[in-house]
Amino acid sequence: MTTANEPSVVLDIQRNALWMRLNRPAAFNAITADVLDRLDEGLALAAHDPAVRVLVVTGAGRAFCVGADLKAIRAAGAAEPFLRRLNDTLNRLEACAKPVVAMVNGTTLAGGLELVLCCDLVVAARSARLGDGHARYGLLPGGGASARLPRAIGASRARYLLHTGDTWSAEAMRDAGLVHEVADDEALLPATQALVDALCARSPLAQQRLKALLHAGQHLDLPAALALEQAAMLEHQDSEDLREGLAAFIEKREPRFTGR
């Protein structure tokens, strides 16, 4: 149980990765304005700290996140400002220049699913279930599910999940394309750490440029996307990381990237 003295999101830098753990387990990590403040704090920290190469978002307890804390929002009479605030934070997470990994440790619903949709890579516990859920209570998604879920798993699957409000297993979400790796519950942390370590070992500059290309390419026609990729590669030719990577390949050693 989170006490008043504990942060709603724990920020912890480990081995070049910033871990952001939603820390309201008694409320199944429901999102409040304070949770959004802490996520923004973490995103700002990662943006200004070159030592941080990867971000990880996860939850404490049995749930990853069940969405917005509706009771708190209704009590404050702040639905409209909260919705704008939620989308601002999710957009910032999606636009983060560095790779973001979601470690899905349990139940993931509504705004929790929308949080996952803003991450680049997803590792999920085998017992986890993921879905939108708004339809069960006559609600609509407000954090991007109607736009991002079809892009992630295809329009047909997204229509089914959004209209029924059903949840799917981690394996089903892997088959649909949202989850990239499923781990046994007790192996979730080691599996995620292995992925994070692999990403941290890559060139930070190349990772950030690749992420920018992938995001831009979703909104461009093929000729424009290919032209953008070629321009980025030509710019990348002058980087220290590219020269280090080629030298390591020739010398048959592991590269030592600096992000320059």
pLDDT, mean over the chain: 94
What is the share, in percent, of the chain residues with pLDDT greater than 90?
Answer: 83
Name every residue whose Cβ is closer than 8 Å to that of residue 12 and which is 6 or more positions away in sequence: 18, 19, 21
Q: What is the pLDDT of residues 181-228, one digit of tens each?
A: 999 999 999 999 999 999 999 999 999 999 999 999 989 999 999 999
Name every residue whose Cβ is closer than 8 Å to that of residue 166 and which is 6 or more positions away in sequence: 131, 160
Confidence category of residue 72, pLDDT binned at 50, 70, 90:
confident
| 196: nearest Cα among 119, 112, 115, 114 | 119
Q: What is the pLDDT of residues 79-125, one digit of tens each?
A: 888 899 999 999 999 999 999 999 999 999 999 999 999 999 999 99
75 pLDDT higher than 70? no
Name every residue whose Cβ is closer than 8 Å to that of residue 134 and which is 6 or more positions away in sequence: 110, 140, 141, 145, 162, 165
Class of the CATH domain delimited by 9-201: alpha beta
- What's the CA gap between 183 and 53, in Å, rounded? 23
Matching CATH number, 204-251, of 1.20.58, 1.20.1050, 1.10.12, 1.10.3470: 1.10.12
Range(s) of the chain covered by CATH 1.10.12: 204-251
- What's the CA gap between 135 and 166, in Å, rounded? 9
Range(s) of the chain covered by CATH 3.90.226.10: 9-201
Cα angle: 3, vertex 4, 10; to 5 degrees: 75
If you average pLDDT over residues 5-26, what whole number do you get? Answer: 95
Confidence category of residue 76, pLDDT binned at 50, 70, 90:
low
**Adjacent-strand bridge partners of 101:** 56, 121
- Provide the pLDDT for residue 1: 44
pTM of the model: 0.91
> Which of these ranges, 80-84, 105-109, 135-139, 142-146, has the smallest mean pLDDT?
80-84
Token readout for 119 is 């991450």
